[in-house]
């Protein structure tokens, strides 16, 4: 297998092929567009689907309780004997910032069109003005330091608008923590202790829960959720530091973590009492090795970490990365039905081809569902709701199926 590694500018990015010890993530950005969600200036109401939702403000009014999240009416049920497992697919986004390139609302529109849900791992710093950056005390780094940029006021407001809309349309808001410190240096999240992760999480939550105090924008609507209750999991920067994060995640009552540095398309297990949802190695057309199911890992193996490679490469790379996602989906659907996890960023690397390829894959998967396939395009939290009600002996049986392996005798026999 091939491994590509190179640091890029302030992002602390690391791009790696499948099978390596770590893989790349970095905070994403998004674009400005009007939203379906909203509210009155005092944050006392939220509007969704043309209906007012009473909002009980929390703390300084940055967040609120508006009742049960829309779009989640079906209660998950355990598999019946002999039943074929659904094919779950989770699209997730690191950073979930909105910087005027239209990507956040683009994928909200896509999900709405196809009645799908996703997970947005929000970076807490994306709701903190740079003028208040000294409020952030990153472990083993200088006060206010960050390896991702602080957003402008305009982009913070756009991020709030799209996060508001995302939750009201049934999507999950997780966390991508704050400063995105990667690599091998002392300040990297790789070396943080459980206590330091606790500090980072507390701060990430505070920036979401106190954005009105930090910005002074008290005339804007509150976010329509209680973040203490909403937050059920996250993904660490560059997929580093999970071992020391997990004790803290368990203490905080998190239900899953999506920070494993590369996994395989098999049924998940718990680590330290937390569901472990790794990015997965999928077939990489034209190569004998596989690639992790994330846009930056496609880029790392196509353009050796360059985000602005010569444009004549783009059509072939776009086709190849879309085909990789589709191949990963098809392999799982046709064999062991392991849930398929995809990670992305709101970035326009290499001419925006990775946004186009993930949209192509998304539409392909949705089309299979619309043709009658039992495919469920959900958030990590929704998948966790489902797997939590399955019988332990059924999950143990599912875990015996390796990558690309079909159940002996078919599902009716296998799960009889």
Quick check: is 3 in a domain?
no
pLDDT range class, residue 51, cuts 50, 70, 90: low
Quick check: is 113 in a domain?
yes
Contact criterion met (CB below 8 Å) for 212 and 273: no
* Domain span holding position 161: 9-37+44-68+84-414
Structure tokens at 288: 């004998």
Average pLDDT over residues 304-310: 94
Coil/strand/helix, residue 402:
coil
pLDDT digits (tens, 9 = 90+) for 106-131: 999 999 999 999 999 999 999 999 99
Structure tokens at 91: 């699209």
Which pLDDT score is estimated for 299? 96
Determine how many CB atoms are found less than 10 A away from the CB of residue 281.
23
pLDDT range class, residue 338, cuts 50, 70, 90: very high
Point out the least confidently predicted range of 38-52, 91-105, 365-379. Answer: 38-52
In this model, does residue 11 exceed pLDDT 50?
no
Quick check: is 73 in a domain?
no
pTM, two decimals, is: 0.89
Q: For the chain, state the CA radius of gyration.
A: 20
Quick check: is 159 in a domain?
yes
Quick check: is 32 in a domain?
yes
Which pLDDT score is estimated for 13? 38
Quick check: is 341 in a domain?
yes
Task: Look at 205 and 2; give whichever has higher pLDDT.
Answer: 205
Which pLDDT score is estimated for 4? 33
In this model, does residue 333 exceed pLDDT 50?
yes
Average confidence score pLDDT of the chain: 89
**Would you mind telling me the total number of residues written for the chain in this entry?**
416
The Cα angle at residue 226 between residues 220 and 230, in degrees rounded to 5: 125
pLDDT range class, residue 54, cuts 50, 70, 90: confident
Quick check: is 50 in a domain?
yes
The residue to which tokens 């950073």 are assigned:
95
Distance, first Cα to last Cα, the chain: 38
Q: What is the CATH number of the domain that holds 296?
A: 3.20.20.370
Which pLDDT score is estimated for 47? 53
The count of domains in the chain is: 1
Q: Cα–Cα distance between 279 and 272 in angstroms, integer?
A: 18
Which pLDDT score is estimated for 34? 29
Structure tokens at 68: 């049960």
pLDDT digits (tens, 9 = 90+) for 220-248: 999 999 999 999 999 999 999 999 999 99
Quick check: is 1 in a domain?
no
Q: Cα–Cα distance between 322 and 363 in angstroms, integer?
A: 11
User: To the nearest 5 percent, what fractions of the chain are helix, strand and coil?
Assistant: 40, 15, 50
- 346: buried, middle or exposed (CB in 10 Å: 19+, 13-18, 0-12)? buried
Which letter does DSSP use for residue 164 in this model?
H
Average pLDDT over residues 182-187: 96
In this model, does residue 32 exceed pLDDT 80?
no
Average pLDDT over residues 174-188: 97
Which pLDDT score is estimated for 3? 33
């Amino acid at each position: 297998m091939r491994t590509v590694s190179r640091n890029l500018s302030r992002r602390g990015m690391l791009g790696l092929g499948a099978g390596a010890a770590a893989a790349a993530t970095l905070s994403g950005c998004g674009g400005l567009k009007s939203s379906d969600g909203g509210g009155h200036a005092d944050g006392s109401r939220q509007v969704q689907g043309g209906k007012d939702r009473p909002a009980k403000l929390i703390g300084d009014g940055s967040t609120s309780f508006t009742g049960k999240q829309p779009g989640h009416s079906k209660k998950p049920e355990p598999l019946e004997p002999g039943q074929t497992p659904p094919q779950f697919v989770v699209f997730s986004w690191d950073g979930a910032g909105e910087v005027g390139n239209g990507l956040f609302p683009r994928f909200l529109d896509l999900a709405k069109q196809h009645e799908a849900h996703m997970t947005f791992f929000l970076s807490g710093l994306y709701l903190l003005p740079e003028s208040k950056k000294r409020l952030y005390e990153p472990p083993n780094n200088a006060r206010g330091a960050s390896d991702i940029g602080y957003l402008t006021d305009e982009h913070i407001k756009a991020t709030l608008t799209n996060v508001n809309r995302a939750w009201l349309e049934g999507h999950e808001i997780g966390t991508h923590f704050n400063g995105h410190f990667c690599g091998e240096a002392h300040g990297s999240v790789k070396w943080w202790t459980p206590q330091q992760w606790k500090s980072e999480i507390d701060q990430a939550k505070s920036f979401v829960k106190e954005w009105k105090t930090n910005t002074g924008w008290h005339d804007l609507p509150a976010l329509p959720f209680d973040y203490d209750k909403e937050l059920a999991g996250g993904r660490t920067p560059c997929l580093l530091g999970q071992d020391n994060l997990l004790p803290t995640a368990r203490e905080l009552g998190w239900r899953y973590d999506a920070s494993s540095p590369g996994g395989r398309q098999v049924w998940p297990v718990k680590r330290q009492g937390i569901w472990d949802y790794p990015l997965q190695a999928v077939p990489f057309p034209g190569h004998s090795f596989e690639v992790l199911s994330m846009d930056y890992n496609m880029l790392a193996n196509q353009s050796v970490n360059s985000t602005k490679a010569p444009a004549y490469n783009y059509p072939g790379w776009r086709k190849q990365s879309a085909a990789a996602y589709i191949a990963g989906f098809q392999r799982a659907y046709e064999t062991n039905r392991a849930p398929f996890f995809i990670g992305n960023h709101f970035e326009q690397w290499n001419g925006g081809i990775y946004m186009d390829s993930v949209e192509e894959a998304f539409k392909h998967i949705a089309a299979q569902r619309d043709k009658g396939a039992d495919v469920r395009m959900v958030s990590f939290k929704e998948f966790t709701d489902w797997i939590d009600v399955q019988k332990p002996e059924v999950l143990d049986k599912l875990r015996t199926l390796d990558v690309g392996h079909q159940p002996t005798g078919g599902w009716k026999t296998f799960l009889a």
